[in-house]
Amino acid sequence: MNLNADAFKGKVAVITGGTSGLGLATAEYFASLGAQVYALGLQTEAARFASHLSIETCELDVTDYPAVDRFFDALPRLDFLITAAGITLGAKELEPEGFRKVIEVDLMAVHYSVLKGAAVIARSGGGAVVNFASMAMAFAGPNTPGYVASKGAIVTLTRQQAAQWVGHNVRVNAVAPGWVDSAILRGLPEDFLEGVKRRTPMKRFGEAKEIAKAIGFLCSDDASFITGVTLPVDGGFLFGA
Q: Is residue 139 part of a domain?
A: yes
Q: Which amino acid is residue 149, in one-letter code? A: A
Q: Is there a contact between 5 and 33 (Cβ–Cβ < 8 Å)?
A: yes
Asked if the model's pLDDT at residue 132 lies above 90, the reply is: yes
Instruction: Give catalytic status of residue 147 as yes or no.
Output: yes
pTM: 0.95
Q: Which residue has the higher pLDDT, 139 or 13?
A: 13
Asked if the model's pLDDT at residue 9 lies above 90, the reply is: yes
Q: What is the mean pLDDT of the chain?
A: 94
Q: How confident is the model at residue 1 (pLDDT cuts 50, 70, 90)?
A: low
Among 214, 212, 204, 208, smallest CA distance to 235 is for 204
Q: Is residue 36 part of a domain?
A: yes
Catalytic residue among 29, 38, 112, 147: 147
Q: Is residue 1 part of a domain?
A: no
Among 66, 53, 23, 26, smallest CA distance to 41 is for 23
Secondary structure of residue 113 in the 3-state scheme:
helix
**What pLDDT score does 135 carry?**
87
**CATH code, domain carrying 145:** 3.40.50.720
Q: Is residue 80 part of a domain?
A: yes
- Total domains, the chain: 1
Q: Is residue 165 part of a domain?
A: yes
Strands 36-41 and 170-177: unpaired
Q: Is residue 199 part of a domain?
A: no
Q: Which domain holds residue 90?
A: 12-180+207-226
> Alpha-carbon Rg of the chain, whole angstroms?
17
Q: Is there a contact between 115 and 103 (Cβ–Cβ < 8 Å)?
A: no
Among 35, 19, 22, 4, smallest CA distance to 233 is for 22
Among 123, 240, 130, 128, smallest CA distance to 178 is for 240
Give pLDDT tens digits for 36-62: 999 999 988 878 898 889 999 999 999
Strands 80-83 and 55-59: unpaired
Q: Is residue 232 part of a domain?
A: no
Q: Is residue 212 part of a domain?
A: yes
